[in-house]
Every structure is written in C-alpha cells, then in structure tokens.
Amino acid sequence: MKMGENAATKNHFPPQVFSVAVDMPSQGGSKWFDDDGRPKRTGTVWTASAHIITAVIGSGVLSLAWAVAQLGWIAGPAVMFLFSFVTYYTSTLLCACYRTGDPVNGKRNYTYMDAVRSNLGGGMVKICGYVQYLNLFGVAIGYTIASSISMMAVKRSNCFHKTGGKDPCHMNANPYMIAFGIAEIIFSQIPDFEKLWWLSIVAAVMSFAYSTIGLGLGIAKVAEAGKFQGSVTGIGIGTVTETQKIWRSFQALGDIAFAYSYSLILIEIQDTIRSPPSEAKTMKKSSLISVSVTTLFYMLCGCFGYAAFGDMSPGNLLTGFGFYNPYWLLDIANVAIVIHLVGAYQVYCQPLFAFIEKTAAQRFPDSEFITKDVKLPLPGSRSYNLNLFRMVFRTIFVILTTVISMLLPFFNDIVGLLGALGFWPLTVYFPVEMYISQKKIPKWSTRWLCLQILSAACLIITIAAAAGSIAGVVGDLKTVKPFKTVY
C-alpha cells in the first residue's frame, strides 16, 4: 500500500476505469497509471534530491564543528569524507533493490521493509522494521529538541543584544518544544510523500540558508582573528581528561554518521520517482548530487567552525553562542533551522506513519474509524480527505515525541546516539546483504569479501560511536531535571 493510502482506496481500480486508461498507453503502465495500477508518479531527479537534502542537511550540520574539534584537522575531514563515500556507495546498492527481478519492470518494493522482505525475508524483516522505525521515532525527538534550542536562540540573542551581554538570559525549553509540537500536529495531516514535495523544497532552501550563514560567520571569525585555530589531533588532554577524549572522539563519529543518515527513507523517496528512465538510475543521480552537495557543505561548515573556535567549538554552531553578532543574522539562521526542521520531521516520519496506518487497515478492514475518509470542502474546487484514525494517531505520536524531548533535552548526545544506532544496520548491513542476494554474488568471492569487510568495519565504528554517545547521555542525566531544563 502506498504511504498515506487508506484501506478505502487500497483496492485495485475497477476494470472499466483501467480500460479507459489503457486506451492511451505509455511505457511503464498507461497515461494516468503506473505499472502497478497506482496514479502516475511525478518525482524527478530534483524533487528526490530536495527530499534527500531536506533529510541530510539537517540539524546534524550544526554539530560538525564540535565533531571535528574532537578528532582534529586530519581525522575530522577524513572521517567526513569516509562517511560520505560509504553513504553514497551503499545508497547505490539500496536503490537497486527498489524493484525485485528486472530493474525496469520488476515488482516494486514501496518501503525499506518491503525491499528486505523481497530480498532477505524471514526474521530480517522484523529486525529491519524495529531498527528503522525506532530510528525514525528517535529522529523526531532529536528534531524537536534542536528546533526548541533554535527558537530559544532567537530570543536569547535579542536579549544579549539589549543587555549588552550582562544578562545570562536563561529560559525554559518546554514552551518552545510545545510550540514545535503544535506545528507538527498540523503538518502531520499531510497524507503522504507525494503531497509533501513543496514542504521538502522549502526545507531544503532553509537548510542551505542556515548552513551558508554558519559557514559565513565561521569564515568571518577566522578572517578577524587572522589565523586558523585547532590542532592536528583535536581537543587536547588538559582541556578534557584522557577518558573524556576517547568517549568524545567516539561520540563525534556518531554525530558525523547522523549528519549523513537518509538511507532509512531512501526507498520511500524512490517510490515517488516517475519512469522512464528506471527509478534506480534517477535515484543514483539524486544520491550523487545530494551527497556531493552536502559533503561540500559539511567540510566547509565543520572545518571553518573548528578553525574559528578551536577546542572551544560549541556543540551547536548557531545556538552554542560562539557567535553573538550580527544578532539579526543569527536570528535569520535560527528561524531557517526551525522552518527546515518542521519539514525534515515530516520527511522522516511519513514512512512510520504509513506503516502504522497500513497495518491498522489490514488488521481492522471493517472499522470505519480506521478506513473511512470524511471529505472536507476547501476554498476552491478541491476537498481534503480527513481520516479520523490518521488524525488521532499522528496527533498522539507528535505529543509523545514532544513529551520525551522535554525529558531528554540534550542535543549533541542524542544526535550521536541516533547516528550510531541507524548507521550500520540501515545504511550498510541491509543494503549490502540485499545486494548480495539480488545479484547472487558467490560466497567467498572477491566482491563478496570486499562487501563483508566494508560491513564489518562500519559495525566497529557504530559500536564505538554508540558507546561514546551513551557515556554522554549518562553524564547528562546526572544534571538534568525532567521538564525543568533551562538554557
């Protein structure tokens, strides 16, 4: 079932409707319907790239200066380049799994789990589902935290400006998380990815805006100081203990991994692409464009942020108040972050919404609460199909992520943990195993060994990153009071 499609519309089109469509044939189905009987997909290289950039250039970019500070001038950029290469390579493996069998006319896999089911089957499907949807749930929490910090940063920068920096301008994060939650309740009623393209394009533009501002401020600060700060090995022993240096270096790996995480929604994005050419060919182009653009931005933002602040690089480049002026430019950047995260939240949550709603419709096909749409007239000729189950479930989901964000309001450690948990299984392991299965690569062949070595190396990185992030979360929990976090 297509994402956001309810049980009332899931059945195949009646023969008489479809017969009209086939009177005007085109490759891959008909003029109005694709080869699977669904309305023609309209996605292009650019809409897919917008979805990916919205997902990738997210709040993760803001922690990259801190991550480079932990690793130093050699390891920091090298690790970022390594993650970009691995992400692009495994995404090309994954997009080849969108269709089972023939890459042009084979059976479509509408979701990541469908691809795993077709290529690996068995218990792998459940494992994939748990990992993917838990990660999506976690991303929603991380984005709620990040958006509230940016909203507060706008108010605090104006407060600093008015008081000349004399007032610490402390404030509670909860009202801002609630405001973000209310916005997400409204936007979560957008039925599916197909209706989400405009929000993704707005969000992608916003991500470029605040990334560019962060980069510009970093360059300006370096120019003002007349030198590059930082060292080859990163933050020095003395500024932190040896133990902290190890844990923080591991956590930096998780932060960088999170900054590249989009594989968990790649298949869902690919399902919006029109054909011909084949969806895999278009998605490879989109992945190359997106990963190239984001890597360039990441290198510049991470490296110039580190060059500007050295060992004191803040965990969040635009809200850690490494910069104070020009305060109006910081306000623009943080507003752009909030707008971007509103869209990114939806891009990540749509697959989870679709899975829950599809499962509910299959289990309770006779329930009108779950399957029936109510048509609401809108200004103009169109009407909106309101599904009561969708409205109630998605509202409860947003409320739940907002409440958990109030309990765990620490940005950097959550980002690192999410990056660690999602990177190996979803970005590396499943794409590699599905590709091996689909292409029938012989066991112990050179290609099989190379793919397994790549997977094993990424598993080691994931374990290290998770350990560092968990150590950070444990440390934060000692000082945080639930629902009373003040910045």
Question: What are 240's strand-pairing partners?
Answer: 237
The reported pLDDT for the residue numbered 432 is 92
- Residue among 212, 222, 295, 280 at smallest CA distance from 434: 280
pLDDT digits (tens, 9 = 90+) for 28-43: 456 777 666 677 777 7
Pick the most confident of 319-328, 362-371, 381-390: 362-371
For the domain covering 45-478, report its CATH number.
1.20.1740.10
* Contact (Cβ atoms closer than 8 angstroms) between residue 193 and residue 350: yes
Q: Is the pLDDT of residue 452 over 90?
A: yes
More confident residue, 6 or 157: 157
Tell whether the model's pLDDT for residue 433 goes beyond 50: yes
- Please enumerate in sequence order all residues whose Cβ is within 8 A of that of 324, keeping only pairs 6 or more positions apart, or say none: 157, 160, 165, 330
Comparing CA positions, the residue from 420, 424, 407, 380 lying closest to residue 476 is 407
Q: Which string of DSSP letters, residue by residue, matches 165-207?
A: T-S----BSHHHHHHHHHHHHHHTTS-SGGGGHHHHHHHHHHH
Strand partners, 213: none
Residue of 217, 342, 184, 317 whose CA lies nearest to 259? 317
For 66, list phi and psi in degrees, rounded to 5: -65, -40
Of 348, 253, 272, 291, residue with least CA distance to 91: 291
Which H/E stretch holds residue 29? Answer: strand 29-30
Q: Which pLDDT band holds residue 485 (cuts at 50, 70, 90)? A: low
Distance CA 158, CA 129 (A): 44
Which pLDDT tens digit goes with each residue over 253-275? 877 877 777 777 788 888 888 87
> Rounded mean pLDDT of the chain?
78
Residue 222 has pLDDT above 60, yes or no: yes
- 469 has a pLDDT exceeding 90: no
CA-based nearest residue to 276, from 474, 34, 22, 5: 34
Q: What pTM value is reported for the model? A: 0.74
pLDDT at 456: 93
Query: Residue 451: its pLDDT value, please?
Result: 92
Q: What is the 3-state secondary structure (H, E, C) of 124-156?
A: HHHHHHHHHHHHHHHHHHHHHHHHHHHHHHHHH
Averaged pLDDT, 338-352 = 82
How many residues make up the chain in this entry?
487
Q: Where are the beta strands (DSSP E) in 346-420?
A: 373-377, 383-387
Residue 483 pLDDT grade (very low, low, confident, very high; cuts 50, 70, 90): low
Looking at residue 15, what is its pLDDT?
36
The mean pLDDT value for 473-487 works out to 66
Question: Which helix H or strand E contains 100, and what residues bound it?
Answer: strand 99-100
Mean pLDDT across 227-254: 82
Answer yes or no: are the C-beta atoms of 57 and 204 closer than 8 Å. yes
| Confidence check: pLDDT of 10 > 70 | no
Under DSSP, is residue 222 helix (H, G, I), strand (E, B) or coil? helix
At 51-60, the pLDDT tens digits run 777 767 666 6
Tell me the pLDDT band of 400, cut-offs 50, 70 and 90: very high
Residue 179 has pLDDT above 50, yes or no: yes
